[in-house]
């Protein structure tokens, strides 16, 4: 019995040790919020938290988080509050099993609002200076898109309102799909003349004419992303037949096989005409008998 107890204890320790090592890259740790935290951002964060996080993390300060391995923990505790804003942001963004990633669920602004909500439980917290606005100048950007057919590349030029090229800006390319946008390739950074070139795959299915809705986005941390949608005939033409079944034996009239319908009606008409013929003959016999 003791042996088993020890074994289980060991197992738990091993699991715990594994669980607690969630490494965050140093550059991500150093990341700071571009949003000034306030009671207003905390309020918005609370709404998001209740919708997306509460089912596992419970209500902060109550400690009523779910019993999972690794433990989700209570965001109001030291375990959370000792981490930098950047580390929290990284963890919310990427997730790890069993915590889902929130990269495509919450915008960057919303993730910062959640962190702002966490910090509202920490009286000793002092927010580091807000990220400088230089990287966030995307607001007035304009995007031009050119398709280079020879090299199968999509050329995107980013410039500001004064037609100056924006260099060092992250640009993402998506294809519009029914339930969401599918990213093509990785995020790319514009060169000195504000240009990025995306390799475009050959085999993305388009609509009946091969058109695709492409979404080009400049990522900005303040949530004021610049986005442009263009429709280009870059897709494979897809025109598949509907999946409805052909005519079958056991079904309504318009679905039953033609030979069955024919056979059925021939038999019915045959039987009825035979009966009518007999009655006709009987009538004829009676007439003749009456005449005699």
Partner 1 sequence: MEDKEKPKTSRRKFLENLGLLGTGALAASAAVYSGYHYEHSKNKTGRKIKVLTADNQLAEVDAGSLTISGKPTLTALQMRGREGIKHRRWVMIIDLSKCRNARKCIAACQEAHHLRPEQYHINTLQMQESEKTAPFFMPKPCQHCDNPPCVSVCPVDATFKRPDGPVLIDNERCIGCRFCIAACPYSARSFNWIEPKFANQDKGKTYDVELNVPQKKGTITKCLFSSDRIREGKLPYCVSACPNGVYYFGDENEDAVTNGTTKETVRLSKLLRDNGGYRLMEELGTKPRVYYLPPKNRLFPFPEEGNIIEKEG
Contact 138, 224 (CB under 8 A): yes
From the list 102, 117, 118, 200, which residue makes contact with partner 1 (rule: CB under 8 A)?
102
Sorted by sequence, the CB contacts under 8 Å of residue 258 that are 6+ apart come out as 247
Q: Single out the segment in contact with partner 1 by CB under 8 A; choices: 27-35, 99-107, 124-132, 225-233.
A: 99-107
From the list 6, 12, 130, 271, which residue makes contact with partner 1 (rule: CB under 8 A)?
12
- 238 binds partner 1, rule: CB under 8 A: yes
- CB closer to partner 1 out of 108 and 119: 108
- 38 binds partner 1, rule: CB under 8 A: no
The C-alpha atoms of residue 193 and residue 206 are separated, in whole angstroms, by: 31
The C-alpha atoms of residue 224 and residue 222 are separated, in whole angstroms, by: 6
Query: For partner 1, how many residues bind (rule: CB under 8 A)?
Result: 45
- 248 binds partner 1, rule: CB under 8 A: yes
Sorted by sequence, the CB contacts under 8 Å of residue 236 that are 6+ apart come out as 202, 203, 204, 205, 206, 210
- 129 binds partner 1, rule: CB under 8 A: no
The C-alpha atoms of residue 117 and residue 209 are separated, in whole angstroms, by: 48
Rounded to the nearest 10 degrees, what angle do helices 39-52 and 108-119 cross at?
A: 110
Least Å distance, CB 250 to partner 1, is: 5
From the list 7, 8, 266, 271, which residue makes contact with partner 1 (rule: CB under 8 A)?
8
User: What strands, in cross-sheet order, belong to the sheet with 195-199?
Assistant: 142-148, 153-159, 195-199
- CB closer to partner 1 out of 129 and 242: 242
- 239 binds partner 1, rule: CB under 8 A: yes
DSSP 165: B
Report the half-sphere exposure of 213 (CA within 13 A, side-chain side).
10
- 68 binds partner 1, rule: CB under 8 A: yes
Least Å distance, CB 177 to partner 1, is: 4
- CB closer to partner 1 out of 16 and 152: 16
Contact 20, 75 (CB under 8 A): no
Q: Convert residues 172-211 into a mask of x (bound to partner 1 by CB under 8 A) and - (unbound).
A: ---x-xxxxxxx-------------------xxx-xx---
Q: Footprint of partner 1 on this chain (CB under 8 A)?
A: 8, 11-12, 55-56, 66-69, 71, 95, 97-98, 100-105, 175, 177-183, 203-205, 207-208, 238-240, 242-245, 248-252, 255
């Amino acid at each position: 019995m003791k042996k088993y107890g020890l074994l289980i204890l060991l197992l738990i320790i091993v699991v715990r040790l594994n669980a607690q090592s969630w490494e965050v890259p140093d550059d991500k740790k150093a990341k700071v919020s571009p949003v000034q935290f306030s009671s207003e951002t905390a309020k918005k964060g609370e709404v998001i938290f209740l919708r997306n996080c509460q089912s596992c993390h419970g209500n902060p300060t109550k400690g009523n988080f779910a019993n999972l391995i690794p433990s989700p923990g209570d965001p109001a505790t030291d375990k959370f509050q000792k981490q930098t804003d950047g580390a929290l942001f990284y963890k919310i963004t990427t997730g790890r099993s069993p915590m889902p990633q929130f990269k495509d669920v919450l915008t960057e602004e919303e993730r910062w609002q959640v962190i702002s909500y966490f910090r509202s439980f920490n009286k000793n917290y002092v927010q580091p200076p807000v990220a400088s606005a230089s990287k966030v100048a995307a607001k007035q950007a304009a995007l031009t898109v050119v398709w280079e057919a020879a090299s199968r590349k999509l050329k995107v030029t980013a410039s500001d309102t004064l037609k100056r090229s924006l260099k060092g800006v992250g640009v993402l390319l998506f294809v519009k799909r029914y339930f969401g946008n599918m990213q093509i390739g990785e995020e790319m950074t514009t060169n000195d003349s504000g240009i990025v070139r995306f390799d475009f795959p050959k085999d993305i299915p388009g609509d009946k004419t091969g058109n695709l809705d492409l979404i080009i986005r400049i990522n900005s941390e303040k949530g004021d992303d610049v986005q442009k949608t263009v429709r280009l005939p870059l897709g494979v033409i897809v025109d598949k037949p509907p999946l409805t079944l052909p005519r079958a034996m056991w079904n309504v009239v318009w679905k039953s096989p033609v030979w069955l319908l024919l056979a059925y009606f021939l038999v019915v008409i045959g039987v009825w005409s035979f009966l009518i013929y007999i009655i006709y003959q009987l009538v004829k016999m009676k007439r003749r008998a009456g005449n005699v």
